[in-house]
């Protein structure tokens, strides 16, 4: 006999066990008089279990995660959910409408936590998200991409010194884990303060869809939910190798302004002193090579060839063994990442 459970209370409503409900949490109105709401879908499992939030577009132009959540919510597997899944595909609703990372008050939502009821838009949205989502959850996964014109290799940023966070980070199975410091005012910092293990997934580029990054995100979330016993264990073993924790990361910057021809692709291994691009003036008379300052794997890069001096061009991650890291990244990139019969019917986004 399965234990009975109470419904899940959120935003003044109660979602009954074994049901799914989409709620519109009111945030401050627009000056046009139009109300703005934060849409949340709650799936309340039949049986009690962990409460997990999955959020995207905290930065309004980072849209891979919106598609990841759409695919996640279509999974028939969720009928077997144990616990509660809170899906928030668009957190920064203002930025999403404006195709912007920020809010209309020019604030970065991910630097605005814990926020306040009486603050400007970013502070109010942060406060609402904290009260209604984070404080009702046991775990969190927040989905991001690189900034505009910047692309990231699928990677997780998490506080790996916390054993529970490290456990769920490892099963997510992206090739690179970054044990990054908590930044002031970030969602991750506030979740950590409240003892909620949280992963930040970074993959792809702002305002673009990346099929591989989307599939890796969906698979990673399912794997975490299986690890937390929110979903039944898979009969198939993961073919992905264990992810590697980067020891440190560094940026290769432009030494001069000009037009960049990048020669180091995302996920490739570079050696210290190796040429990773050439910057030229428009006449091609003055050319200078861009050299890697360290060994490492390219985990992020600019896709825009127009660069100003000092700008970050390539993000390099250093590992215990760069050769092993290269193998792990190659295995990941070569994998088709099947999602199972239902979702594989969907044509891939190219
Ligand atoms: Zn972001």
- Segment 57-77, tens digit of pLDDT: 999 999 999 999 999 999 999
Spacing, Cα 246 to ligand 1 middle (Å): 20
Q: How far is the CA of 202 from the centre of ligand 1 (A)?
A: 7
b/e burial code for range 325-350 (CB count within 10 A of at least 16 → b) = bbebbeebbebebebeeeeeeeeeee
pLDDT of amino acid 67: 97
Task: Tell me, in angstroms, the distance from the centre of ligand 1 to residue 14's CA.
Answer: 31
- Centroid of ligand 1 to alpha carbon of 198 (angstroms): 15
Percent of the chain at pLDDT exceeding 70: 97
318 phi and psi, to 5 degrees?
A: -100, 140
**243 exposed, middle or buried (CB, 10 Å; 0-12, 13-18, 19+)?**
buried
Question: In angstroms, rounded to a whole number, what is the distance separating the alpha carbons of residues 142 and 337?
Answer: 21
Mean pLDDT, all residues of the chain = 93
Per-residue pLDDT of 73-121, as tens digits, reads 999 999 999 999 999 999 999 999 999 999 988 999 999 999 999 999 9
Q: Report the pLDDT averaged over residues 290-310.
A: 97
For residue 236, is pLDDT > 90? no
Expressed in angstroms and rounded, the spacing between residue 301 Cα and the centre of ligand 1 is 15
What are residue 252's DSSP bridge partners? 314
CA of 148 to the centre of ligand 1 (A): 10
For residue 1, what pLDDT is reported?
47
Stated pTM of the model: 0.96
Are 204 and 145 in contact by the 8 Å Cβ rule? The answer is yes
Residue 146 CA to ligand 1 center (angstroms) comes to 6
Query: What's the distance, Cα to Cα, between the start and end of the chain in Å?
Result: 47
Distances (CA, A) of 161 to 180, 198, 199, 279, 318: 10, 12, 13, 40, 18
Indicate the SS3 state at residue 14: strand
Residue 234 has pLDDT above 70, yes or no: yes
The rounded percent of the chain whose pLDDT value lies above 90 is: 84
CA 101 / ligand 1 centre spacing (Å): 8
Give pLDDT, residue 242: 83
Q: Mean pLDDT, to the nearest integer, of 123-144?
A: 97
The residues, ordered by sequence, that sit 6+ positions from 304 with a Cβ below 8 Å of its Cβ are: 149
Q: Ligand 1: distance of its center to the CA of 293 in Å?
A: 26
Segment (H or E) for 324: helix 322-334
The helix (run of H) or strand (run of E) holding residue 165 is helix 163-172
What's the mean pLDDT in 147-153?
97
């Amino acid at each position: 006999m399965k234990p009975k459970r109470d419904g899940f209370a959120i935003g003044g409503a109660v979602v009954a066990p074994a049901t799914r409900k989409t709620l519109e949490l009111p945030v401050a109105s627009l000056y046009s008089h139009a109300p703005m709401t934060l849409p949340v879908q709650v799936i309340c499992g039949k049986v009690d279990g962990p409460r997990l939030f999955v959020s995207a577009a905290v930065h309004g132009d980072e849209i891979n995660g919106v598609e990841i959540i759409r695919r996640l919510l279509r999974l028939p597997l969720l009928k077997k959910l144990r616990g509660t899944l809170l899906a928030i595909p668009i957190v920064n609703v203002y930025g999403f409408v404006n195709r912007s990372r920020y809010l209309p008050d020019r604030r970065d939502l991910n630097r605005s936590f814990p926020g306040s009821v009486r603050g400007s838009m970013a502070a109010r949205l942060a406060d609402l998200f904290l009260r209604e989502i984070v404080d009702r959850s046991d775990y969190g996964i927040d989905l991001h991409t690189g900034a505009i014109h910047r692309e990231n290799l699928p990677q997780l940023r998490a506080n790996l010194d916390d054993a529970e966070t490290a456990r769920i980070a490892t099963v997510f199975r992206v090739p690179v884990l970054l044990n990054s410091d908590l930044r002031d005012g970030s969602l991750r910092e506030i979740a950590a303060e409240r003892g909620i293990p949280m992963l930040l997934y970074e993959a792809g580029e702002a305002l673009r869809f990346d099929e591989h990054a989307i599939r890796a995100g969906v698979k990673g979330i399912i794997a975490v939910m299986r690890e937390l016993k929110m979903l039944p264990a898979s009969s198939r073993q993961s073919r992905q190798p264990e992810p590697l924790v980067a020891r440190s990361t560094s940026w290769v910057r432009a030494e001069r302004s000009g037009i960049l021809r990048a020669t180091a692709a995302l996920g490739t291994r570079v050696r210290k002193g190796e040429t990773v691009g050439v910057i030229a003036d428009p006449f091609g008379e003055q050319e200078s090579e861009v050299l890697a300052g360290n060994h490492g794997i390219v985990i992020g890069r600019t896709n825009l060839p127009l660069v100003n001096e000092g700008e970050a061009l390539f993000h390099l991650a250093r590992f215990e063994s760069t050769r092993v890291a290269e193998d792990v990244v190659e295995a990941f990139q070569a994998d088709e990442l099947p999602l199972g019969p239902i979702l594989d019917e969907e044509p891939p986004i190219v």
